[in-house]
Chain A
Amino acid sequence: MADEIKTLSAELARDPQSLVFLRLGDLLRQRGQLDAAHRVALNGLERHPHLADAHDLYARLLADKRDYERAFDEWDMARRIAPGHMGALKGLAFLYFKVGDVAQAVAHLEEAERIAPDDFTIQQALAMVRGQPMGSAAARPSGYAVPRPDSPPPSPLPPLPPLPPPPPVAEEPMAPAAGPLEDRRVFAGLEGAQEGLLLLDAAGRVLGGALRDWNGTDVTEAVAAYLAGVSLEAGRTAKLLGLGVWSGLAAEGQLGHVHLAQPGPDALLLVVRDRSVPMGRLAIIARRAAMAARRWLEQQA
């Protein structure tokens, strides 16, 4: 493997446009040289932004680093570029399964099965996933809760073998054991559901999600109270200035970024992330959260 890495590195140095970065990045990843793999993948992605495989490689690396939110974005992008991309379908299925959204995991695996009906690993994964109760964190097989350093966990999604075993179920931020059921459902499957996503009604009452500051203190109620005023003022400003209906308010703070949106006529959504998340990406996260909130609000109606 080392020889192959040397050869591929030399080839890439000779021709930076070469697609060997895909193989090189994957080899480095398999050897656990994640930083080097990360650099190779990013450089490749910059040169080939419309190559689904490049997004797939980068997504795998992000998943290795447990940056599941960005991994989701990359696999999502790969799938937009190439709707039948197997890596993206499996990767997305993996992430959905990881957060307990069994229905979505099954849907992605079924799509993968349609494309590669002879791939027994997909059939195996489907059988395993279908055997679990829908939408439950308990849906994870026992191997997920107890990482085995000596052998890979019995993942229902074998196409991603080098991924590290996920943390124990108890550590999952997206499926907390405590808290009202409805709160969990609003942003189910979205990262930060219990510390960086908040859904309010027009009066500033919390409908779902939660917010914590950087010290881990719950600031949900305080922020909710202020946000009702911000929303009213934003609406008034847009109206009086003849700008029509406001659709979003993005704000960059010294320590973090926030994005405010209206998923429904009487609802307000707040997304908060630290400064490492660029404003543009925050807007994408907010769009996804708004869709989840909209679905949830429609179900409540």
Chain B
Amino acid sequence: MTATDYARTLDLVTRVRGVRGAMLVSSDDGLVVAEHLMEGIKGSAVAALAASLANRLRRAMAAAGVGASVFWHLQCEQGALLVVPAASGIVVVAVAEPDVNVGLVRLELLRAAEVVR
């Protein structure tokens, strides 16, 4: 994939109302692969934290016997972090407002994960 392809993929996620930014993150090292963020969001911090949380959650879910994570959503007072792990070891991440349409973001993240697989 080219940088343009990545940008186009993320653009579809960020078009959802309430999404502040989206990025592709390497789940192994938490580094940014591509990003499309609103001003004020620290891409490198989001990437590192999302990857770390994804890895911890993956282990907990494996122990609980519910299989690999397909989508997860961290709900916070002032926003949300929504993540879909892609098959290629990349996680697609969105940072959103607290009242975002989670179902819609989930769909766009899953589509993005299909593209980058």
Docked CA distance A3–B66 (Å) = 48
* Beta-carbon contact of B78 and A234 below 8 Å: no
* In the complex, chain A residues whose CB is within 8 Å of the CB of B67: 253-256
Segment 48-94 of B: residues with Cβ below 8 Å from A: 49-50, 52-53, 56-57, 59-61, 63-81
B23 is an interface residue with CB less than 8 A from chain A: no
* In the complex, chain B residues whose CB is within 8 Å of the CB of A254: 66-68, 70
* In the complex, chain B residues whose CB is within 8 Å of the CB of A257: 66
Nearest first, the 6 closest Cβ-Cβ pairs linking A and B are A213-B65, A244-B77, A254-B67, A256-B66, A253-B66, A243-B76
Q: How many inter-chain contacts with C-beta < 8 Å in the A-B complex?
A: 120
Q: Which of B41, B75, B81 has its CB near the most chain A CB atoms (within 10 A)?
A: B75
* In the complex, chain B residues whose CB is within 8 Å of the CB of A270: 64
* Beta-carbon contact of B63 and A255 below 8 Å: no
Docked CA distance A234–B60 (Å) = 13
Interface of A is mostly: mixed
Interface residues of chain A, those whose CB is within 8 Å of chain B, are 211, 213-215, 217, 219, 222-223, 225-227, 229-230, 233-234, 236-238, 240-258, 270, 272
With A229-B56, A244-B77: A252-B69 Cβ-Cβ less than 8 Å = yes
Docked CA distance A242–B41 (Å) = 9
Docked CA distance A230–B59 (Å) = 9
Q: List 25 A-B contacts (CB under 8 A).
A: A211-B64, A217-B65, A223-B63, A229-B56, A230-B53, A230-B57, A233-B49, A233-B53, A237-B50, A237-B52, A237-B53, A237-B74, A240-B45, A242-B78, A243-B79, A243-B81, A246-B76, A246-B77, A247-B77, A252-B70, A252-B71, A253-B61, A254-B66, A255-B65, A270-B64
* In the complex, chain A residues whose CB is within 8 Å of the CB of B61: 251, 253, 258
